[in-house]
Amino acid sequence: MFNIAQLPAKYRQMSVAALEKRALEVKAQLGKDLFIPAHHYQKDEVLKFADKTGDSLELANYSRDNAAKYIVFCGVHFMAETADMLTADDQIVLLPDLRAGCSMADMANIQQVERCDRLLQEQYQIDVLPLTYVNSTAAIKAFVGRKNGACLTSGNAHKMVSWALSMNQVILFLPDQHLGRNTAYDLGVPLDQMAIYDPIRQTLIYEGDVSDIRIILWQGHCSVHEKFTTANIEHLRRTEPDRRIIVHPECSFDVVRQSDDNGSTRKIIQTIENAAPGTKWAIGTEMNLVNRLIKHHPELDIISLNPYMCACLTMNRIDLPHFVWCLDKIVAQDLSNQITVDAETTTYALQALDKMLQRQ
């Protein structure tokens, strides 16, 4: 494990006004050489400096389509890796806090995935077609590319799983079991044709005849979205039956089934933007985004589906002090926050990413 430098005390001591002034100065100084994409789950204090905001699919598109020399990625590590792979070799992608990982992406590493593939081939004679959520390491994306599989995001999951089902191979869906189960079920795959792979016990969990399996779900999940429960839904149905419930498909199967609607970050935002004034909503997704929707839509009555919900801790690591420190380091030509993916990994991972970008 490499050492990550601590934020210098100076940045903690600066006032918000001084930090914001410095951010604007560096933005003006670097001009077109600087591009700042930010995920919708970022804090307002950082998001206000973004050139583009978006969900993970939109941010992948924006990264690919811009020519800036420095890309300060306000999101989490796997998104910055993806941006590095989608941009030219001389473009530099930086992550303001190198500790901004993703607990879901951490639930699968390349050794576990290769072991799973071997086990399925040797014990069950199953040669899988892998699909990986973009919330995964570049090494896993490359594994998927080598096996002719594809990446996906919640924004195009139905298109990608539908494509994979048409290939008539057993799908290995990783690392989020919930997005895999919710999407495959929507597309007509019954639960009894879905198996689970437990990467800790290295076991395939399935009760029927193995030849009936159509999709194998990696036993991973998002530690933010798992906090929405059917008890939250039952409470609202009892107390406020006229409040519509919309959740992200990283929520569990039962939560998604019992909600009125579900969809990617983009779909949730669009649904709220198009909602009739005066309508009541409960949203099951990350709290920075829910709070922003509440603030921007005073004409609606919006609450979080879970009243005790908090923001994604790893997304929140990118705060204003780290952001300004990162900008200052660019000016000083210190590129210690750079995220790079080696050429061989990039070649294969791009094969999986290209399939995702072709089906939006």
Task: Point out which residues bind ligand 13P (CB under 6 A).
Answer: 55-57, 102, 135, 153-155, 222, 250, 264-265
CA dihedral 251, 99, 83, 285 (to 10 degrees): 20
Q: Is residue 320 a contact point for ligand SF4 (CB under 6 A)?
A: no
Shorter beta-carbon distance to ligand 13P: residue 146 or 267 = 267
Q: Which of 57, 172, 224, 287 binds ligand SF4 (CB under 6 A)?
A: 224
Shorter beta-carbon distance to ligand 13P: residue 78 or 348 = 78
Q: Is residue 104 a contact point for ligand SF4 (CB under 6 A)?
A: yes
Q: Is residue 223 a contact point for ligand SF4 (CB under 6 A)?
A: yes
Shorter beta-carbon distance to ligand SF4: residue 27 or 317 = 317
Q: Which of 72, 161, 269, 312 binds ligand SF4 (CB under 6 A)?
A: 312
Length of the chain as a residue count: 360
With CB under 5 to 8 Å by kind, the binding choice for 56 among ligand 13P, ligand SF4, none is ligand 13P
Q: Is residue 286 a contact point for ligand SF4 (CB under 6 A)?
A: yes
Q: Is residue 76 a contact point for ligand SF4 (CB under 6 A)?
A: yes
With CB under 5 to 8 Å by kind, the binding choice for 155 among ligand SF4, ligand 13P, none is ligand 13P
CB of 18 to ligand SF4, least distance (A): 29
**Tokens at 3, concatenated:** 């050492």
CB of 180 to ligand 13P, least distance (A): 14
- Per-residue x/- track, 19-58, ligand SF4 (CB under 6 A): ----------------------------------------
Name residue 254's amino acid.
D
Residues in touch with ligand SF4 (CB under 6 A):
76, 102-104, 135, 222-224, 286, 312, 314-315
